[in-house]
Amino acid sequence: MNLNQPITYIKGVSVARAELLYSELGIRTCNDFLHLFPNRYIDKTQFYTINQLQQNSSEVQIVGKITGIKTVQQKRGSRLVATFADATGTMELVWFKGVKWIKDSLKVNTPYVIYGKLNWFKGTANMPHPEMELVSEYKSKIQMAMQPVYPSTEKLSNKSVSNKVMRTMIQNLLQQSFDSIEETFTTDFRTENQLLHKKESILNIHFPKSQELLAKAQYRLKFEELFYIQLQLLVKKLINKSRIKGYVFENVGEQFNTFYNNHLPFDLTNAQKRVLKEIRKDTGTGAQMNRLLQGDVGSGKTIVGLLVMLLAIDNGYQATIMAPTEILANQHYNGIKELLANTTINVELLTGSTKTKKRREIHEGLENGSLHILIGTHAILEDKVQFKKLGLAIIDEQHRFGVAQRSKLWKKSEIEGVPPHVLVMTATPIPRTLAMSVYGDLDVSVIDELPPGRKAVKTVHRYDSHRLGVFRFLKDEIEKGRQVYVVYPLIQESQAMDYKDLMDGYESIVREFPSPKYQISIVHGQMKPADKDYEMERFLRKETQIMVATTVIEVGVNVPNASVMVIESSERFGLSQLHQLRGRVGRGAEQSYCILLTGVKLSSDAKTRIKTMVETSDGFKIAEVDLKLRGPGNIMGTQQSGVLNLKIADVVKDSPILYNARQCAIKILNDDPGLKKEENALMLKRLTSLQRTSGIWSNIS
C-alpha cells in the first residue's frame, strides 16, 4: 500500500468520513493518519474479578458472562439492565440509549471482556454503557496492554467517530500498510543511538505492548522528528555559506578606528569584543553573514551593531537598521546620531511619519551614496527605497518581522547578485533549545555580561496592602535626587479599563505626592505622539520626578537617573515584559530597584513569574521559565509559532533529545556534507522528500 494514498483506501473510511477527518484533524493521506499519535493511554494490563472491585469510580476490565437481561420502564422511555457474572460474584450492566439494538446484539452465557467506569448504588456495583467484546474476538485482534486515546473534536464525537472507531481505523491501516512503513535510519545508526526500528515504533506508539516499549517508541519518533529538522537547518546553513556570496569587509579603516579610539563612551566588555571578532571573521570570508546577536537588556548590542556598520562604511558600503516600532527606531536614531556627532558620517531616520520632502532627500542620498546609515521601520521595505551599495542590514527584534519582509531587504541593493550581510539582534534572550530549533541555520553570538559599573537591579515583591510602605520608599529615593517609574498594565482587550486603571492610579499618586513639591509626568497609548514626547522630555530633563505610564515605556526610554520601577498589577504581565520593564532602570551608577505590586490572590503561573523575577536577573534563565510556562508558539510571536508544527516532540520538554539529535546531525554533516556516502543514502532520501513537502525549508529565517 502506498502511504501517500488518500485515507479512503483504509477499510472502514468512507468519503464523508474522510472529509470530516480532514476538516477536523487535517488528515488527508494514510501517512498523515499513521502519524496521528495518541495523546494518552488507558492501561488495560489488569483484569479484575467482581469481588476485587473497590467502592470508587475507577475504570476496570472484567471477563465474565451475561446471565440475564431485562428492560426496566422509566418516566421517559426504558433502560436495559443485564446481570453480568464471573466465578466470584455478579454486577449489573446498564444502557439508557439504543436499548432495542443492544438487547438484540447481546449473547447470553457467552464469555465477554467488558471495560468501563464503575457506579455504586447501595453497595452494589454497576457499569453504564460498557465497552464490550466477545472473548473470541478479543483474542483475534492486535493485543493492547494500553489502549490509545486519540485527539478528537466535538464534531467528530457528534458524527459517531468515537475513540473506538478511530482505534479500529488505525488498526485496519496498520494491517494494510505495515510492510510499506519505510525506515529512515541505517541499522548501525539505530544501534549506536539505541533507537527502535521505525515499524516497531509506529506499532507501539499506537498499540503499546508495555510501558517500556511505549517509552522506546516515543523516544525513537521524537528523535527522528527533531533530527530531520536539525539536518534541514544545518544543510541550509552549509548551502548559504558555500553558495551565497557576500561582500568582503577587509579594511578596518579610519571611521572604525577614529570612533573606537576617540568617541567610544566606555570600554567594551570581553563579551562585546568576542562578538565583534566573530562578526569580523564572518564578513571576511566572502560568504554572506547570517548571524543572530542575543544579549540581555542593557548589554550593549547597539554599540556592537554600530561598530559593524562603521566597518561596512570603511569598506565603501552603506548600512541599515530596521526596528519594529517607531519608538525603537527613534531610540536607535537618537542614540547613534549622538554617538556619531563628531564624525563625518551621515545618518537619517525613515518611518511612516517622515514628511514627503524629507523622504525625497533620503531616497536621493541613498541612491548617490552620500547617506551612510539609514535607520527606520517597515518604511525601509518600500519599493522606492533603493541603496547604491547596501553591505549590511541589521534587523532588531526579528521575530516581529515576517519572512517575506526580511527577504525584501535582500533585494535593496544586490550588486552583481550579492545580498547584504544580515545581523539579527534580539533583546529577548531566546533559550538555547528554541534558538537551536527556530534559528538553527543562523550562527549565534551571545553578549552575556553587562558593561562595567552596572549594578544588578534589586527586585522585591509587595502586596497591595504594603502600598504605604512603598510610597515612603519612593519619597526617600526622590529625596536623594532620583526619579521613579510607575507602570500600569496594558491589555489590548480593554483599552477603556486600562485607561481607567491608569487614571485612578495617577490620581492616587497625585494625592500622595502633591505639587509643587513633586512633579508628575503621565504617558499612555491614547496620547498624541507630540504630547507623549513632551512628557518624556520633561522626565528626561528631571523636571518631573515620577513618570506614570502604561507599557509604552517598555522600549525607547533611557533615563540613567531613574532608579525605581514600580510595576502595578504585575501578575497581569508576562515574564519577558516584566524583564523588559525592569531593564528601564539600572542604567546609571546608583543602586536601582524594581517593586512588583500584586493582589493577594495569585494563580500558580503568576506566582512562578513573580518568584523568577525576584530570584534572577539573567534574561536567559527568565526566557527558559517563560518558555516552560507559555510554550514555544507564544514566545516567538505569530510569525514563528507555526514553523515547527511538531507531531510528537516538544522543544521544551524534549530538549535533551533535541540536543542529541543536533549533535548527531552535525557529526554526520562534518563527515559527509553532501550526504553522498552509501551509509547516508536513507537520510538523503528522507531529506529530499522533506524539502519537497515541509514548510520549514522556506520558512525559517
Spatial CB neighbours of 85, under 8 Å, sequence gap ≥ 6:
50, 64, 65, 67, 91
Cα 209 to Cα 572: distance, rounded to the nearest angstrom: 46
In this prediction the pTM is 0.67
By percentage, how much of the chain surpasses pLDDT 70?
89
pLDDT of residue 678: 94
Statement: residue 668 has pLDDT above 80 = yes
By percentage, how much of the chain surpasses pLDDT 90?
54
The candidate with the shortest Cα–Cα distance to 64, out of 52, 49, 81, is: 49
Spatial CB neighbours of 73, under 8 Å, sequence gap ≥ 6:
none
The residue-averaged pLDDT of 28-51 equals 89
Spatial CB neighbours of 175, under 8 Å, sequence gap ≥ 6:
none
Counting Cα atoms < 13 Å in the Cβ hemisphere of 181 gives: 18
> DSSP code of 455?
P
Statement: residue 586 has pLDDT above 70 = yes
Statement: residue 604 has pLDDT above 60 = yes
Is 285:246 a contact under the CB 8 Å cutoff? yes
Is 519:484 a contact under the CB 8 Å cutoff? no
Cα 30 to Cα 370: distance, rounded to the nearest angstrom: 60
> DSSP code of 32?
H
Place of cell 468520513: 17
Is 358:305 a contact under the CB 8 Å cutoff? no
Query: What are the CA-CA distances from residue 84 to residues 50, 99, 109, 126, 492 (Å)?
Result: 9, 17, 9, 9, 59
3-state secondary structure at position 587: coil
Is 255:386 a contact under the CB 8 Å cutoff? no
Range of weakest confidence among 26-35, 65-74, 294-303, 690-699 = 690-699
Question: DSSP string spanning 89-143?
Answer: EEEEEEESSSHHHHHHH--TTSEEEEEEE-EEETTEEEEES-EEEEHHHHHHSPP
Rg of the chain on CA atoms, in Å: 32
- End-to-end CA, the chain: 37
pLDDT of residue 241: 79
Range of weakest confidence among 281-295, 367-381, 526-540, 595-609 = 526-540
More confident residue, 240 or 98: 98
How would residue 649 be classed by pLDDT, with cut points 50, 70 and 90?
A: confident
H or E segment and range at residue 677: none
Is 596:614 a contact under the CB 8 Å cutoff? yes
Cα 631 to Cα 626: distance, rounded to the nearest angstrom: 8
Report the sign of the C-alpha dihedral through residues 396, 397, 401, 406, in that order: positive
More confident residue, 360 or 450: 360
Cα 387 to Cα 372: distance, rounded to the nearest angstrom: 10
pLDDT of residue 699: 39
pLDDT of residue 240: 77
Is 650:188 a contact under the CB 8 Å cutoff? no
The candidate with the shortest Cα–Cα distance to 309, out of 379, 246, 388, 255, is: 255
How far is residue 21 CA from its own chain's centroid?
27
Cβ-based neighbour number of residue 413 at 10 Å: 22
H or E segment and range at residue 422: strand 421-426
Range of weakest confidence among 82-96, 231-245, 643-657, 671-685 = 643-657
Q: What is the pLDDT of residues 389-431, one digit of tens each?
A: 999 999 987 555 555 666 677 777 656 678 899 998 887 667 6
Q: Which three cell numbers stand for residue 472?
A: 515612603
SS (H, E, C) 228-290: HHHHHHHHHHHHHHHHCECCCCCCCCHHHHHHHHHHCCCCCCHHHHHHHHHHHHHCCCCECCE
Q: What is the pLDDT of residues 449-468, one digit of tens each?
A: 877 777 889 999 999 999 99
pLDDT of residue 700: 38
The candidate with the shortest Cα–Cα distance to 195, out of 203, 185, 207, is: 185
pLDDT of residue 417: 72
Average pLDDT, the chain: 87
Q: Which three cell numbers stand for residue 432?
A: 538555547
The residue-averaged pLDDT of 593-608 equals 93
Name the burial class of residue 610, with classes exposed (0-12), middle (13-18) and buried (19+) by CB atoms within 10 angstroms of its CB: buried
Statement: residue 437 has pLDDT above 70 = no
The residue-averaged pLDDT of 513-541 equals 88
The residue-averaged pLDDT of 138-152 equals 79
> DSSP code of 432?
H
Structure-derived torsion over alpha carbons of residues 503, 506, 511, 512, reported in degrees to the nearest 10: 150
More confident residue, 595 or 576: 595
What pairs with residue 396 in β-bridges?
A: 425
Spatial CB neighbours of 100, under 8 Å, sequence gap ≥ 6:
none
Cα 238 to Cα 410: distance, rounded to the nearest angstrom: 19
Query: What are the CA-CA distances from residue 304 to residues 273, 309, 380 (Å)?
Result: 9, 9, 21
Pairing type for strands 483-487 and 347-350 reads unpaired
Cα 251 to Cα 316: distance, rounded to the nearest angstrom: 10
Spell out the domains of the chain, with CATH numbers in brackets. 45-143 (2.40.50.140), 254-282+299-426 (3.40.50.300), 458-616 (3.40.50.300)
Statement: residue 157 has pLDDT above 90 = no
Cα 35 to Cα 677: distance, rounded to the nearest angstrom: 29
Cα 498 to Cα 552: distance, rounded to the nearest angstrom: 12
Statement: residue 492 has pLDDT above 70 = no
Counting Cα atoms < 13 Å in the Cβ hemisphere of 495 gives: 4
Cα 697 to Cα 239: distance, rounded to the nearest angstrom: 12
The residue-averaged pLDDT of 34-63 equals 86
Statement: residue 682 has pLDDT above 90 = yes
Statement: residue 16 has pLDDT above 80 = yes
Strand segments (E) across 556-640: 562-567, 593-598
Range of weakest confidence among 140-144, 310-314, 506-510 = 140-144
